Structure 1
């Protein structure tokens, strides 16, 4: 006679947690190092993201990319991020599934008091580890902007900044444009 499986037997905890986030918790929830975190940006937070979006929008269209805050999966980890902005090729942004950080051209995180250290440390490390080529950190508490590039398993190889708000910040290829950080 067959016996019932033990509770949890055969269940992949990473898959189960990410499934719950996608199908039960709602659109604005992420997992950071195994902790479920609701994403509830304030209007000034949204303004900072909109300032960046407005400045890169035309170039993203030229590159046939989409700008959004869609889900980013970090496979084989207990992380599922909803960045403030990400730029990804339109061809990859179809089908409704999450993208991987290395499928983006740029990821932007804007800090809030509740998540500043997560954006400064944890997400920076994870985005580098998972190959996001450019990570722009808009630190509203410190009033600085830093562009990280050269991703690798030990972090980003280069950091341009931190620059105080108001300092022009150059986004390299494929963007080749300078951000005005005055209105952040």
Structure 2
């Protein structure tokens, strides 16, 4: 992050809040979930799970001409600004500061003890509402993985899981691969 002072003209609180969290010094990752600012500090186990997923999808991501990482997702019209554990996005819009969820191909959230209900409940509803085509929740407390697909205004209409850790989870088009979940 830059240490240079920034100036902006915010016409509304949503814009001001989202701008402010992008410019908080000394915080690398921060998100807003239903209006609550949430600085992220994942554990190494959390990061290991994200890394295992990135490793397994890397070849397919490259073949699709996409990038994966934990970039910002903006939910316009709300006070929500998410930083998923893994997101796959087309390479062209990857230079944007943030993307709406409908511009992703896959969003992955890995639960932690501090946010156990946020990812499978709150974010699942919002990602569906904002059109994220595939949403994978790795629940480290329950040791399960659930893939949500076919988003709609009232939620995802296709649910694959929860599957116990160790059960392969198939990612449909455009990925067409099975995730080995034994190390999550």
Tell me the residue number matched to 1:72: 73
Paired with 1:132 and 1:27, the residues of 2 have a C-alpha distance of: 24
Tell me the residue number matched to 1:154: 154
Within a 5 Å distance, the mapping from 1:32-111 to structure 2 comes to 32-94=33-95, 96-111=96-111
Q: Per-residue deviation at 1:116?
A: 1.2
Paired with 1:87 and 1:134, the residues of 2 have a C-alpha distance of: 10
Consecutive unaligned residues of structure 2, counting only runs of 5 or more, are 1-9
Paired with 1:73 and 1:13, the residues of 2 have a C-alpha distance of: 14
* 2:99 aligned with 1:129: no
**SS, match of residue 174 in structure 1:** coil
**SS, match of residue 148 in structure 1:** strand
- Alpha-carbon RMSD across the aligned residues, in angstroms, is 1.0
Q: Per-residue deviation at 1:97?
A: 1.6
Paired with 1:31 and 1:121, the residues of 2 have a C-alpha distance of: 15
Consecutive unaligned residues of structure 1, counting only runs of 5 or more, are 1-9
Tell me the residue number matched to 2:142: 142
Paired with 1:118 and 1:182, the residues of 2 have a C-alpha distance of: 23
**Structure 1 ranges of 4+ moved more than 4 A:** none
Paired with 1:140 and 1:58, the residues of 2 have a C-alpha distance of: 25
* TM-score, scaled to structure 1: 0.92
Q: Per-residue deviation at 1:27?
A: 2.9
Paired residues in the alignment total: 174
Q: Per-residue deviation at 1:92?
A: 1.1
